[in-house]
Structure formats: structure tokens, C-alpha cells
Structure 1
């Protein structure tokens, strides 16, 4: 455990600090109170050196001596200290809250280990990008060379095909095959001019028997447009102004009545039972079958006709109608076409069934049966594949005589060797091999870099494992509808992203939200410690920028995380080896003070400025340690000043303006709590009168801000005004409220 900060030199406001003999040694629980700029965070940075085994960032060298129960730790030996220390302070927030990416999509990288890994990833990804760019350049060059040669092959193949007058497929691929046959010994395939002319005559000969061309597949695919008409009709309800409910609810009876109604026109007797038929009854029934209903049924019938007419059919060509080379392939291509047509027609049948149901029950809404998407596209794609083969089939001829075939093959080999000579294919192949090897080398480099990047990404991913626990703590502090952490993909990488309850990335986080997120991460990361009972925890201002509601929540979380009771009413015991809590917030200070281990393990301290450039750490004064009220503490400062023999001593003056002004705020508000929105000046005017009130508050206002230290140092001639203002205040209180003053003096005595 830490026992005492014995000495500090060169560390901020602790430029030359030595512990006083009267300052108590640290206990298990240590509560440190101090106003802003008093040096609390500086103390936390001192302790953080024991955690990071390195000095805090951006600080000049400093020296220190910290007494522990195992000897002293100094700037010379602290890197080898065995103490397990964890510190939450402003440095922790700066190191563990890093927002990257565009302003509208902030990504939160939590953890110093993640940030370090990310920096390495950034550097390696630059190298990876360069390697991939080089590989891509080599690959593109290979592709460009190949494209150039392929283009030459396509052009040459076309010229060869034209020269021979053949209709069979002969393109770059076929020419490539011929090149493969001749490249070993091109000279043996070279023909003379007379030989070329003779072979060309034979190659250009026409075939006698050519099959008639097959018709292309073409369908009017109108199903989708018709289906857009179906749903409105299914949901339409005809005019029901004269509808008979019984018939509307019983479609079979309604159909029967509809059929029989026309049979009873101008008749007085029922054809079914022989009973009389009343004219008013016939009129009522006729009104039920309104013109709107008739039109509706006619629309249903028209749409059914349109649907029936949209059905598709295709007759597969007979084998005798197809060139032998294409029969098997065409049959295979037609199978998915017939399948697509069947699915298309099935959808029509489904729509027809829906319309039939609507026809049977026109006064009821019919929900359209689901129809698979993309049916028309499936038919069109399958038809396109069939047409490709039909086109090829229609361009093919019957087998030529063997001599025509030999002539064509001989010419192909001749033109192939000529192509090799004209385009220097051997040099091209060598160049392509060299570029391919370069691309492989760059790819191998890229693979190694990518592997290392993945290893580093695993470090980042490992830091994300506690995100659910972090979210629980964030929600405990800020509420379920505040912000939360989600894991998102950024390229190929996983990252944390802060999002609002509406799912959008969280922007413009308040300082309070940042503190809550960082403190939640800090508490979660303590789970990495094998034994919390062996750790020293230092928490500096965990409620910075949080409102009073959140202060209670932070207190509850700290209580749950670091304290427990063996039984109700027993002293609080710490879960960690030693804990330090520092704050400027008196409300938080009071709440944490209520967690009372026995007096031998709990300590309280005050950090305060004693000069513009130096602060000290002392035991809590009686006004802070014995009373739960900031009011007593403030009065204690004023009382100490009044009794001080040297009222120009900076030890007294440092805290005086803020203390006096804050004391006046609390005192005047207690006297006049009904003044909504009123200022301390207005309330003081009512108590002391305007003249006396202005004399007291003018100088206190001047010096009671964050820069009061600098003002005190720069305005020595005005320090007497502080003394006069405080004297005026104390005298006024004695005159206006003597019983109150007597009680206050007794409280801090």
C-alpha cells in the first residue's frame, strides 16, 4: 500500500512539496477534497507513473519519494515497482477516447492498446497499399498486353474466317488453339502463294444441304403489369348502400339469388316454391345487385380473360430440325426455359384463383396470394440463353466433304504461324512471365503485411470483448436512451461506434457524456486484473461535468464496484487493496464520506494552493471532516482568516474570495429561498442593505473566479480590499444574525 507522498519536486503546483509531520499516513480508503486548480489531478498523474511505469506524457522530468509498506518508491526505481495500480483521470480519458473517421460517422476506439495497434495498422496498411498498387500495376500491364494480343487474335481470326468464307465459329479462342499446334515448329505449316489460293477455293465452296433456321423464342411478358391491376380489384368493395347483409355474408346464397332473379322478372309466383313474389322484395333484391357490383364483376371477368391470355407456351424443336452439334446443348438450355414458363403460368393460375374467390365474395376483401418475384426476368433470361444457341445453330452448316475440311484445317495452321511471326508471340510470352513473377512477389509481400494487420486487429477486437459490460455501465450513468456502443464494420475492420437511441452515430458528445463513457470503460477494464484485492485504485473527479442526478449514480457504482459490507450495519470494506478518491464536488465528497470503514483504515485530505505556483496536501480540517456541510467548511475558511495574525499570507488568501462568495450564496439563499432566479447580490441587498452589500461583494466578485490566483498575484495593492470585505461580512453577520454566528463558531471550534 501507499503510505505517504513524502516529497515531490518539479511536478506542476507541487514544485517543491514535502509532507508535513502532522499529515496522516494513507489508509485503505482515502478521500481527497480540493477546489479546481488546487492540484488534485497532478497528484493522480504522480500515482499514474506507478501504473504506466513511465512518466505522464507532456511533462518535464520531476522527482518524488512515495513511502509504501515495502519501502520507498522514487523516480529512480518506480519502473520496477511490483504494485498493481490503476488510475482514472484526465490522462486516462485522453488516451482512451479517440474519435476517428468522418464527422458524421464518429468511430470510438477504446483502449490505449487498441490505439497503439491502430497506429501500427495505419502504417502497415500504407505499405500494404503500395504493395497492392505495384501488384495491380504489374497485373494490369499483363492484362493490357494480353488484351492487345487478344485483340490482334480477334482481328486476325475475323480476317482468316472472311478469307476462307467459313461460317463455323472461328475467333480468338479457335486461333489460340491453332497457335498451340504450330508454335513448336512454325515453318512446317507455312504455305506458298499458289497453295494458299488452291486451298481457299476449296474452303469457300458452299454446302448443299443446310437446315432451315429455327425461329427465335419471343414472349409478351405482361404478367407484372397485370398483377398491378389484380390487388386493387381484390381489395375493392362495391357500393354497399343497398347491400343485404345476409347475402354479403353468404356468397353461395347470393350467387343463387343472382341467378334466379332474372328468372322472376315480371312474375308473381316463385318458380321454386310456388309462393307469391312481392314487387318490393324483387326491388330490394335488385338493389343489392347494384350497377357498381355488376361493373365490378365485369372488371373481374375482364381481368381473368387478360390473365388467361397472358399464359406462355413453347414447343421444343424436334431433333431433326436442329444441327447435330447443337441438339444436346439446346435441349439442356430449353429445360430451364420450360421450368420458368411453368412458374410464370402458375403465378397466373394463382392470380386467377384469387379473382375467382373475389367473384364469389365481392363484398369481402381478398388478400392477394404471394407470387415469387422475378418470374418474367427468369423467363427472359432463359429465352435469351436458348436464343443464343438458336443463333449459333442457324449459322452452322452441315459437315463439308473431307477434302474441304482438310483445306480449311491446313489454312488455319498456315494463318496461325503467320500470326506468331507477325506479332512476335515468343517475346510476348517472355514479357508476360516476367510481369507475372513481379506481381506474385508483390502479392506475397502484401499477404505477409495483411497477416500482420490481422494480428493487430485481433488486439483491437480483444479490447472490444467487454462492450456489453461497458454499455450496461453507460446506461446506468446516462440512461438507456442516451448513447451506447455498437460494433460496426469500417471496410474490413471492426470498430466501436457510439450511437444515440435513434440508431444514428452520436455526434457532439458533451463533456459529461465523455466522462461517463471513459469511467464506464475504466471500471470494465479493471476486469483484466487477476485479483482486484491486490490493486491500488486512484479515481480523480469521476463526476466531472455530470449533474447532481448522475452524481448519485456514480456514487452507487463506485460503492458497488469497490466496497461491501459483511452484514448490514457493519463497516464498509474495500474490494481493492487501497482506494483514492479525489473531487472538487462537495456533494460527491459528502456521499463518499458516508462509506465509513473503521477509523484506522479511512483517511480524509485537503489539497489547496498556498501560493500562485504551489499546493499542499493536508489532513481534512475539522469543518470538513466532522460536518456533512460545505457551509461549515466555507465558514471555517473565513474564521481562519479572521483569526490569522498575518492576513496577507497566501496560505489563507488562496481560498478566501471563492469561499466568501460561495458562503454568501448559501447564507443568502437560506434566508430568502423564495427568490426565483435572484442573484446573490439581490439577496445580500435585502439582508445588509445596498451600500454594505456592494462593499462586500465587489471585491469578492473580482477575485472569485478561476483566475483568482493570478489576480491575487498581480494585484497585491488590492489584497487589503479582501481583508476589508471579509471583515465587513463577518461584522454584518454578527450584527444582523448574532445567534447564527455563535452557532457557526461553535461548530468549527
Structure 2
């Protein structure tokens, strides 16, 4: 329990407050009265520091000392304070009553924790919105990649369709083919020639199916014959008896030899008629010996062989070869013809050289050397040609399968080209990167949304007690009370919405309605405490009736009575009145409410002290015991008259102790007096009533001053201004003169009330 406030320094109007001598200690119930701007709310903020265990942001340099009964509580050990304190004041209303500024549906949030949580939610939702916007932007880029990929695939598919006459062949077919390519280890690109051949074969109709052609058969032979010629041409026959003339004249020798068989016996020559003798025949026979005949036979045989050694082979025409192999065939055929020509030229040389030997068999000769690898060149070209022919024939035999395979190769080539172009453009790679980023953002949004849901659950928990708040609102505001309904916001979360009795959304709340809602929430939050915690709680309530009319003041009083006051049996079994919390402080500027709070008595000597917050001429405030002169009044009206009347009779008005509050007091007195005389209807003000009671001229001078020096501008405008003090004196005199002249009975009753 708090016993007293011993010191306050640098706290607003409490610049250097020290507890006055003789001031009562705080008890279970404590009532504090003070006019507007006297320092009540500032005092409540001092108690709020106990609740928060931290200095107020506006008074970070303040100093104070609470007497807590055992240890003092100061600004230095505030964070160690163990007291449970709950404060209701204008700060509580501002910090715990929030309306969604972005909504026209009067969405209400209770509690500063909810407001802070809602700000976090709003921040998270903004990040979610930004992330969703980024996802939409990424999706556009992904769509562009997809569209670009599809466009490229459409073009590639159209090219394949046109080049290979494949129909149907769409981007879908191409996509499937590209997917199949990924399983292959190497590129399917063909050389320009191979591609042209594959396309040509793939497009070859059945009517132009290639035919089989025969391979080239035969093997040229000259090297063995040449080696034999080297031997034979170098050889000469062995002659035992030769006829010199024949030897020297080979032609005559051949002539004689060719005709020798015509004259086997001696006799006349068939040519010249001369007689051929036996000796002559024997001489001829000796000349043409067997060895010579064998030699000539060898040379002739060699010549015959040489003559048939010429290589003559007919190759298929290029037109007979499938176009796919035609170029290769022509490439192989070119050297083949040259090599044949070269070979046959060598054969002819050898034939001529052997023929010369035949003409002169006794002469030794040397055949011309052969060109290098003459036979091999011909054989190699034949092999090359036959290889092309074999490929051609294989194609001819297996045309259907070969054409299908060519189509497959050409198609694979174009598909590979398309895949390479797509890889170069990088659409799929970009799409994959963008998709990963979008996925990360989606996961980020999920985490943010989970946090939003968690925070929303916190708000929902904080918003509990709606029905109890509604009951209190009905109790405080009566039949026209605003009520709290549950509605859902744009994203489906439950929210509190204020509605009027007509069912319309309450979008424009009066200050009194805001106070009633906040106070109902304050009481509801207290009721949520565990009973043992509530019994150990110190409660400070500052002006819970602010901006409420007199009818509602009674309802607020009843609500406070119901919440904080009760009857219990003491240890002697006697029923006594006490409070339900540990300690309660109630401060107000409303005298009627102050008196109503006084009536909520509790038993026990000194258990409900009265205090006054008084502002001195130096502009500073202090907490004092309630003067007996003030405590005895039962109405604010009597008290106001007493203060104004004391000023009226004071000989030193400029140093009057309540000088700075008298303009407010005078205004309030005039309001109450005119209202008691003329209970005005809706819309009428004190100005209308004053004119009717005082007359237009007198009312004008009174009201001019009251409007000039009311509420917050009083102190600043009165301080040090003797002319304005004179106006206050004149206005008070004018009001009192009117009362004495126009309502003497009322005047006498007031004098009697304050002098009794």
C-alpha cells in the first residue's frame, strides 16, 4: 500500500513539491479533488510510472519519492517496484482505444498491446502485399519466358514440319523430343552435307527408291609380267651355226624362217625358182635351232600376255547411284579413271617393248620401269568405289528402314538446334531462377502470414470480454448505449465494430462515448485478474466522467461501487463496508461526482481521506488535505459561490489564493445558475440563458469575459495582468449585482448556505 507521496520534482506543475506537514496518509479509499489544469492528470501519470515501472516519456528527468510503508519508491529503483498498479486516465484512453484509420467501419482495438500488435500486423501485411506484388511481377517475367520459349518452339516445330514434311508436328512434339534428347550423351547435330543427305533420303518417295548396282570386279596385273619381261627381253638364244646375213637382216631371217617349212626337201624355190640344195637346207636348219625357236616362243607368249593385260572395266553411271552417295561415288570415280588410264598406258609401253623383242629376238633389251604402286592405285580406287556401291546397295535393300532412320537423324538435328537456341537464350534457366525466387517469396509470405495469424490470435485474446464491456456500456450510457459487435475485416479476421441502437455503424463518437468505452474496458480488464491478484492491486481512476452529462455520472458511480466496494463480515462477525482491491485513488474536477464518491463509504477510522490539488500563484501545484470549508459542501454550486464570494470580499484580490481558477469557477457558476433558472432544451447554451436572465447589455459584458478566460488559457492570460484582474473583479460584481437585484431570494439562500 502507498502511504504518501513525499516528494515530486520536475513533473509538470509539480516542480518542487514536498509533502506538507500535517497532510493525512493515504488509506484504502482516497478521494482527490481539483479544478481543471490543477494537476490531477499529472498526478495520475506519476502512478502510471508505478504501473509501467518506467519513467513517463514526457518526464524523463523527474524525481519523486513514494512512501510504500517499508521501502521508499523513487525514480532510481522504480524498475524494481513490486506493487501491482492499474491507472485509468486520459493516457489510458489514448493508449488503449484505437480505431482503424484506414476503415470507415468503426473497427475498434482495445489495449496498447493490441495497437502495437496491430501495427506489427499492418507492417507484416505491407510486406506481404509488397511480396505479392513482387510475385506478380516475377510471374509476368516467367510468363514472358514461357511465351518466348513457346514462340521459339513454335518456330522450330514449323521449320521441322516444313523441312521434313512431318505433319502434325507441334511445339508439344518438340518439347517431348527435347526432353528425350536430355538422355543422350552427345549432340545430335549433323554436318551440312550429312543433314542434306538425310533430308534428301528422308524425303525420297517410294517411286524413287534406289536400285542395286554391281560392284566392280577384276584386279589389274602388270608387275609380274613386267618382271618376266625384264628377264626375257634381256635374254639371247644360243646359236651353233648362224647365217650372218640372216642375223644381220632380221626381216629376211623371219621371212626365211616362215617359209622354211615349205621346203622340207631340196628342190626349186617356190619364190625365186632357184634350186635349194641339201646343204643349204641343213644350213638354214642349223641357223633356226630349237633354242632359238624356244626363245622366240617365250617372247611371243610374253607379248600375247602383255596385249591382254590392258585393264578394261565399266563402272556404273553416277545417275544409277542414290543421290545420298552420288557425290562420294563421283569423288571415288575420278581417280579411278585416271589410274586405269595410267595403268593401260604402262601396259602399252610394255607391249611395244616386247613386240620390239619379237622383231629382233637376238637383241637384248631392258623394259621401261613401271610407275610406283600402279596396281595398288587401281585396286584402291576400285575398293573405294565398291564401298560406295555397297552403301548404296545396303540402302536399296533396306530403303524403308534407312529412310526412316534418315528422317529420325534429320529430326534429331533440328530438335538439337532448337534445344541449343533455347539454351543460348536461357529462357528455361531464367524461368527456373525466377520460379525459385517466387517460391522463396511464397515461403516468405507463408512465414509472414503465420506470424500475422499468431498476432491476430493475440489480438483476439486481448479483445475478449466484449459482452461484459457491452453490459457496462449499457449500464453507463443507458438505453442509447453504443454496443460492440463482432465483424470480419477484409481478410476475414474478427474485429470489434461499434454500432448504435439503430444498427448503424458508429463512426463519429463523442468524447463522452469514448470515455465510457475506455472506462468499461478498464473495468473489464480489472475483472479478468485473478481474485487474489485483484485484491493486491492499487487502482487510480482520474475523471472517469469526463465529457459525460449528469445522468451518466450516476451510472459511472454505480459501476465503481459495484466493482470496488463491497460488504464483508469482519473477524467479529459484523458486516462492514470495504473495498475489493488493495487501495483505490479517485481524482475528479466534478464536484457532484466527488460528492457521489464520498457517499461510497467504507468502514474504519481514517479509511477514506479527502485531498485537494491546489495550484499556487507561482503556477505550481501541491497535494493538500481537503479544507473543512470545502468538504462540508454537498454541491459544486455552493462551493463555487463560496470561492467567488470570498474573492468578491477580498481586500487584496490580486493575491487571492484561487485567483487563477476563478474565471473557470465563475463560468461554471453562471452555467449552473442559468440552467437552474431556465432548464434549456437541446441546442441552447449559457449565452442564450444569460441574455434572457440578465438582459442583452449586461449579459454581453459578462459573457465576453467568461469566453475570454475559460479553461486552458486562464493562467497564461491572467498571470501578471492587473487589467485583466480588474475585469474579473468587475464581472464578478456584475453577476452578483444581477443576482441581488433580479433574484434576491436565491442570493440570500446562497449566503445562508456558505455561512452556516
The two structures have a TM-score, normalised by structure 2, of 0.63
Quick check: 1:113–1:459 contact (8 Å CA) kept in 2?
Answer: no
Q: CA deviation at 1:520?
A: 2.1
Match of 1:679 in 2: 689
1:193 lines up with 2:196 in the alignment: yes
The Cα offsets for residues 387-436 of structure 1, whole Å up to 9 and x where unpaired, read as: xxxxxxxxxxxxxx999988876664443223223433695555554444
Query: In structure 1, the residue corresponding to 2:160 is in which secondary structure?
Result: helix
Change (3 A) 1:541 1:404: farther
Match of 1:655 among 661, 666, 686: 661
CA separation in 1, counterparts of 2:704 and 2:102? 48
1:695–1:138 CA distance, 2 compared to 1 (3 A):
closer
**1:103 to partner: Cα distance:** 5.6
RMSD, matched Cα = 4.2
Query: Which SS does the other structure have where 1:709 is aligned?
Result: helix
What is the DSSP-based 3-state SS (H/G/I as helix, E as strand, rest coil) of the residue aligned with 1:654? helix
Match of 2:177? 178
Distance in 2 (CA, whole Å) between partners of 1:710 and 1:54 is 31
| Deviation for aligned residue 1:178 | 1.3
* Deviation at residue 519 of structure 1 after TM alignment: 1.7
For residue 632 of structure 2, what is the aligned residue in structure 1? 626
Which residue of structure 1 lines up, in the alignment, with residue 601 of structure 2?
Answer: 596
What aligned pairs does 1:398-437 form with structure 2 within 5 A after superposition?
412-424=411-423, 429-437=428-436
Residue in 2 that maps onto 1:334: none
Give, in angstroms, the shift of residue 87 of structure 1.
0.9
State the 1:488 CA deviation. Answer: 2.1
* Distance in 2 separating the partners of 1:470 and 1:461: 15
Q: CA deviation at 1:564?
A: 1.9
SS in 2 for 1:113: helix
In structure 2, the residue corresponding to 1:611 is in which secondary structure? Answer: coil
Q: Is the contact made by 1:138 and 1:439 (CA closer than 8 Å) also made in structure 2?
A: yes
1:391-540 to 2 correspondences below 5 Å: 412-424=411-423, 429-478=428-477, 479=479, 482-491=482-491, 494-500=494-500, 505-530=505-530, 531-540=533-542
The answer as to 2:584 corresponding to 1:579 is yes
1:202-221 equivalent positions in 2, closer than 5 A: none
Distance 1:533 1:661, change over 3 A: same
Deviation at 1:633, TM superposition (A): 1.5
Question: Mind listing any 5+ residue stretches in structure 1 that lack a counterpart?
Answer: 206-400
- 1:204 is displaced (CA, Å) by 13
Alignment match, 2:80: 80
Equivalences for residues 128-527 of structure 1 within 5 A: 140-161=140-161, 168=168, 170-183=169-182, 184-185=184-185, 187-188=187-188, 190=190, 192-200=195-203, 412-424=411-423, 429-478=428-477, 479=479, 482-491=482-491, 494-500=494-500, 505-527=505-527
Q: Would the alpha carbon gap of residues 570 and 695 (structure 1) be closer, same or farther in structure 2, given more than 3 Å must change?
A: farther
Matched, 1:709 2:735: no
Q: Using the TM superposition, give the Cα deviation of residue 117 of structure 1 relative to its aligned residue in structure 2, in angstroms.
A: 2.5
Which whole-Å CA distance do the structure 2 matches of 1:105 and 1:672 have between them? Answer: 40
8 Å CA contact 2:613, 2:621 repeated in 1: yes
Distance 1:634 1:745 in 2: 14
Instruction: Rate the CA distance shift 1:619–1:734 in 2: closer, same or farther, 3 A.
Output: farther
CA apart distance, 1:595: 0.9
**1:554 corresponds to which residue?**
556
Q: Distance in 2 between matches of 1:455 and 1:204?
A: 78
1:85 positional shift: 0.8
Count of aligned residue pairs for this structure pair:
549
- Look up the match of 1:38: 38
What is the rounded CA distance, in whole Å, between the counterparts of 2:517 and 2:196 in structure 1? 87
| Aligned-residue offset at 1:558 | 1.8
Aligned to 2:219: none
CA distance in 2, matches of 1:201, 1:503: 86
Question: Residue in 2 aligned with 1:613?
Answer: 619
Q: Aligned match of 1:563 in 562, 565, 571?
A: 565
Residue by residue over 1:65-119, the C-alpha shift from the partner in whole angstroms, topping out at 9 and shown as x without a partner, is 2222233222212221111111111111221233334363453332211222233
CA deviation profile, 1:335-367 (whole Å, cap 9, x unmatched): xxxxxxxxxxxxxxxxxxxxxxxxxxxxxxxxx
